[in-house]
Structure 1
């Protein structure tokens, strides 16, 4: 919930109970009602087979048209930090790459999320699509979830507010948003089979809150079920979740679709309320559904209701009348470039600063680290896309300071897999799995990575029975030992100059790569000569052990790590006035399909940071990760800036913040623990995380994130909501009003910029039940506002805390309950930096679901 100034329009408060006529809303409702009438008439003219055809995709990214009735084709595209279109995870038509979810979360700015959503609407339309598979609103339960980078926050209220803005922006362009993954998908480990065992109170108070806000407030048009089971039942088959909660309880009137290959049955999914099976061609519907109808397992009325929901989505997005020839465009818009740069800067969190930042634009700067010249702009998995361009931190700073004033050293590597061969690479495709005969198609890619989804090779091969041969050239930069790495979703082997170096053909075991469809990296060693060109050939064959129809092969070659490189980097740092070390992770670490195995910086990066600090005390550390990391060198660093994966303008956005052209106005949306073991999911009981015997128990209940650290009195490395700026603010005069007739409370306070520089602050309002009959958090975020003020400017802020703010979910009576008693209302700049507090007394009350 956003705060606002006293003279703001009161309708901006999402929890404000006020009746106001809105002619615009009324006209929209009338238009929607007319559309429903037309949709029902269209439905009446459909045959049963035509109706069933709309309940599953016919291609990987689209539904079939019904030419007889003039019904167009609904197309979908992956999000959430861009619109990839119908291309593969590599290559394809370029697209704008926006900051990832955790970066938007760190902005604490729903208006920015709305701007990004609106821009993404343009991007989706440029790819010929009508629906974006975004945003991701799962809660950051653990610090090791590989997909945390896609999610907004560990807190449900912050997540909900950002999701509402994002969805409203996206749908303002008549592009459907798809809130995902519903629900309990907070880990990538065994995600397609595991059961997330979560009690209803925890579900209602934490994990369902963002979905509820998306439905009730943003009127989201689509929901994606998750792969996992929830309390023993696959979410795609959960009548309780999809019908009782989503439709019956919240009034959802859009489409519920499966995650890709996340439907595992016919009658159970349709009867539970799963409207759409994706992708196509269908596995569980079509003739199987027609047979289930004939057998009386699914009613015609149930099918009709599902089709009605599909047609409604097609009406809302215009797909129902879209008969255009499908074409994708690379629209590199200047306004999107500017927005990405501004958003990247606004998401940057200044964790520590002893006055060294912003950097003066005089003197020399050593730019060091594995992420300095390689732009880390996004995480891995379905969120990947082919960006229009990328700007590295090196390039951003060199452009701003002049190349004559900057020095560079890599120092060490941080790759998870051996580096790709960045040379033109040909892939020859063969029918069958034997690489026999002449290739039926040849495709060129920019590197030694091939990822294929049906249709493979332009439809020239059977996606279930084909083989491929990759050819490229590798030139060794230095003489010495190298590692050759192979990962493949299928059988694979690698030859260098005709010599077999890596073999994952004779023996192949499923691992965590390629959405848990690929093997772990198999590595061979080889000695190479400097400057010599080596032919690298990899062979691939599809096998039967697949669930998601992904075919892929990745080949990389990297030098043995050498500690001498760290000494070289320290020497470069010593000759500069300042050193900036760019460390962190990459999209191979922060990725869909696998969780992290810890939160220490990969490789020798901690040693690199320590060596650079020892060589140059004026060292700034810039982190780029999808979540928290341990920082053993923290006390020696003069400044630490967390920049996440900020999109294609990464280097420019980071340079803007370092040089003071932009304010580091981000605040942590996830607690950074001192060590991994401090996180509530890191216990000695595997059943709590990562799971055991097919189940993962959410035993911490509602005590997620900062709530856990409060409860256990554990001091984090950096608390939830923390972030410094280049300006300073003071709070004053907190007033907490009495509850109104509906139980809502108004809290007001003053905020003053007490510095000589313009800046912004995030005012955070927490509420705690002083004495409760059930375990409740010490405090919970209930409202916030990001405010920009000029030097010396003071503003009075007002926050509306509705009755639900004070309630917990009563699992016995299955209702929201407020207990009579005193509640603390706290205002601060982080979960541990509370500046003002007051109290209010509430009367007991029961609130409807």
Structure 2
């Protein structure tokens, strides 16, 4: 232990106190020993340090900070160096705002396109997500502050996220859902990790010994701190035994006492607590050093320009019929769509940034050189239909040479705490597009959203530019691509299916009441579409340019690949070359090919460049469930160099020596997985893959409701007050949506409807403690007056205890 002498000076009470927050955002301090509080702030794509006091819960406004493009956007750049630059600027702003721990980046996989938080995650591919996350971490931590990779692990939906049990087989867990975290730990060397809310195969992640001890601490040799998601602690002692040091936010000392009593009863050794304290002290002291340098305010304008540069490199050109883009000089352009006036530039929830500057499209035309003849909103932002707005937009469209039509998803659709209902763009926007198409077919659509959408209307647009959520400078960045000042170089970090029903997890998202079964196994995203030969709208890794590239001269050695890319067009541009590897053996089921490397290169017109992509420890490995470790299968492997997962330009083969491990599967018993056709795997086959029985996925309506049951389950509670509360919550949600207050309606779903009862205690900063919660549960389960007396008694006891302490 690094701080053995200091820990020896602490009382048991002091050590226990460090294991939970001082308030909503700060850690506890011990003044007599010189241990100060450190500040944790949201910040995957910009600092959200609450402008109000740190003791205030909720999603309150943050101090002004640069809002960079979201992770889903930057992933489209496929540029790890750019990711590191974003991290550096985030680190600099963290220093300026006296933030020690930045809660990000998020590296959860995009298992399903409807996950409400996909805008905050990088990719459907763990290798790409891991490499981008590691670059962010290196940048953030170069300033001495800590990154906090989240949410560990298998947190791939928002619905019932605090109670859902993720059922996934070990190989899929390792290869798909943990690999990005592994890269973040080993290559990014993150100083902290946030455990997720959900259960993993029956055990809450922050209590999961296999996840936290066997894998994280054991196999990956992680020495840093593990922090709960806010209110994500279930059993504090089990969490401590798993090595989950810091519980956030404060519980006003309640869980400190649980730790103290558990040690006194011999349930946990004090040595375990000491090790946790030691790791937390290291986080405190190492991040404090960042503030020993002179305080310097960050340059707001410079950071804004960096945000613009990042957005420019992350924009994806998806369609360019007749080379309608870039816009030719002198073309009369009509600007239509509400997102042009009020840019959609970030997601919703805990990651909301209060931007220092905010560019809007209508304010940036003069410098872009594009001639706008006018603007019409065309549609109501939140879905309300308006024929009047459509008619006015069409009148403007008749006068223009080209239409810039800004479409997308609104802020209330993509949000933390709930998943999307569908992959569709709102119907009122489609009606507008159809109407404009009747009067002017030169339409360029600009999409603003952080996740995949269906596009049955794509035949009616000649150009399609996807800006994703481009941060505070995203609007200007889009205009620079439209005008040709910037050659688009982004490529999709996720697949766009033709329709939602084509997705491999369609039948098992967001799961049944108590659990979600990952029956598709490792076949998510392009791994499924390419293997099962399913047509898609846009493949993984796809993106157009204003120039063209030719690939040639592939050479494969035991160390990696080299090849030549030539820019055969008339302008300079950047190309993202992608290395995929496929195993030719059929003895172990695998996707047809998997991303194993990538490089983004700038090439002048007419120039050729040699590209080298090395192999690494992940190029040929697979996880063997019989040996319980990573193995290599001896076989011939296809080495494929592509401009996307389906646009393969160069192919070669290499023979790889194996590790001699036994075959892990009986091919006859797993036909769906060996075929890669996993949309309808039955329970029996999934159980063979799992190696155990699938747990019951529905709520047990015969048992009294307990700590880990959610408020929504009050619908069948024995207590009338609980059933009435449930109906009240449902009505409030319906009414708020009806009157157009969708963000408030969303907040009800996130913070009440799907909240476990324990969250009432864990997220109120000690206002309600667990003994009081026991009384609430008595009322819920049909003992109203007994429960009410218990709540009153425990409240008075708590008040008296607080007065004694004071």
Residue 568 of structure 2: aligned partner: 754
Match of 1:362 in 2: 330
Pair 1:70 & 2:34 matched: yes
Equivalent position of 2:635 in the other structure: 821
Residue in 1 that maps onto 2:545:
725
Matched, 1:194 2:14: no
Deviations along 1:106-145, whole A, 9 cap, x unmatched?
1100000000000000111222211000000000000100
Residue 175 (structure 2) pairs with residue 205 (structure 1): yes
1:73 and 1:323 in contact (8 A); partners too? no
CA distance in 2, matches of 1:846, 1:599: 45
- 1:53, 1:575 → 2: CA distance? 69
Correspondences of 1:37-436 after superposition (within 5 Å): 37=2, 39-87=3-51, 89-282=59-252, 285-318=255-288, 331=298, 333-354=300-321, 355-401=323-369, 405-415=372-382
Query: CA shift at 1:95, angstroms?
Result: 1.2
- 3-state DSSP of counterpart to 1:583: strand
Residue deviations 1:399-449, cap 9 Å, x none?
Answer: 5347x7331111112326xxxxxxxxxxxxxxxxxxxxxxxxxxxxxxxxx
1:555-612, Cα deviation, whole Å (9 max, x unpaired): xxxxx63223212211111101211000001221111100001111023111212222
Relative to total residues, which structure has the larger strand share, 1 or 2?
1
**Superimposed CA distance per residue, residues 236-284 of structure 1 (whole angstroms, 9 cap, x where no aligned partner):** 1111111110011100000001000000112111111110100114475
Tell me the SS of whatever aligns to 1:805: coil
The CA distance in 2 between the partners of 1:321 and 1:630, in whole Å, is 48
Matches within 5 A, 1:304-703: 304-318=274-288, 331=298, 333-354=300-321, 355-401=323-369, 405-415=372-382, 561-683=385-507, 688-703=508-523
Greater CA drift, 720-729 or 358-367: 358-367
| Residue matched to 2:587 | 773
Aligned with 1:701: secondary structure? coil
SS at 1:315 equivalent:
helix
> CA 1:771–1:70 in 2, change beyond 3 Å: closer, same or farther?
same
Change (3 A) 1:311 1:130: same
Secondary structure at the counterpart of residue 826 of structure 1: strand
Q: CA RMSD in A?
A: 2.0
- For 1:810 and 1:288, locate their aligned partners in 2 and report how far apart those are by CA, in whole Å: 40
How far apart, in 2, do the equivalents of 1:594 and 1:674 lie? 23
Q: Check 1:321–1:767 CA distance in 2 against 1; reply closer, same or farther (3 A cut).
A: closer
**Residues 596 and 618, structure 2, Cα contact 8 Å, conserved in 1:** no
Deviations 1:695-729 (A, max 9, x none): 10111111110011012211110000000011111
Task: Return the alpha-carbon distance in structure 1 between the equivalents of residues 329 and 649 of structure 2.
Answer: 35
Distance across 2 between alignment mates of 1:847 and 1:218: 30
Q: In the alignment, what sits opposite 1:810?
A: 624
- Paired position in structure 2 for 1:552: none
- In structure 2, relative to structure 1, the CA distance for the partners of 1:587 and 1:240 (3 Å cut) is same
* Aligned counterpart, 1:845: 659
- Per the TM alignment, residue 178 of structure 1 is displaced from its structure 2 partner at its CA by 0.4
The number of equivalent residue pairs is 655
Asked if 1 retains the 8 angstrom alpha-carbon contact of 2:95 and 2:290, the reply is no
Partner of 2:699: none
Q: Is the 8 A contact 1:414 1:603 kept in 2?
A: no
In structure 1, how many angstroms separate the alpha carbons of the residues matched to 2:121 and 2:467? 15
Query: Contact 1:101 / 1:152 at 8 angstroms: preserved in 2?
Result: yes
CA drift of 1:321 comes to 8.3
Whole-angstrom distance in 2 between the partners of 1:274 and 1:55 = 9
Q: Would you identify which runs of 4 or more consecutive aligned residues in structure 1 move more than 4 Å?
A: 319-324, 329-332
Residues 55/82 of structure 1: CA separation in 2 closer, same or farther (3 Å cut) = same
SS in 1 for 2:123: coil
2: CA distance between counterparts of 1:775 and 1:282?
A: 51
Cα separation, 2, equivalents of 1:778 and 1:255: 38
Q: Which has the higher helix share?
A: 2
Aligned residue for 1:423?
A: none
CA distance in 1, matches of 2:656, 2:227: 41
Aligned match of 1:19? none
Q: Which has the higher contact order (CA 8 A, sep 6+)?
A: 1
Sort the Cα spacing of 1:321 and 1:295 in 2 relative to 1 into closer, same or farther, 3 A.
farther
Distance 1:648 1:632, change over 3 A: same
**Partners of 2:398 and 2:60 in 1: CA distance:** 39
**For residues 348 and 804 of structure 1, what CA distance do their matches in structure 2 show?**
29
For 1:74 and 1:671, how far apart are their aligned partners in 2?
Answer: 40
Consecutive unaligned residues of structure 2, counting only runs of 5 or more, are 52-57, 663-806
Alpha-carbon distance between aligned partners in 2 of 1:120 and 1:321, rounded to the nearest angstrom: 15
Q: Which stretches in structure 1 are left out of the alignment for 5+ residues?
A: 1-35, 417-559, 740-744
1:368-418 CA deviation, whole Å, 9 max, x = no partner? 01211011110001101211121122222355347x7331111112326xx
State TM-score, norm by structure 2. 0.79
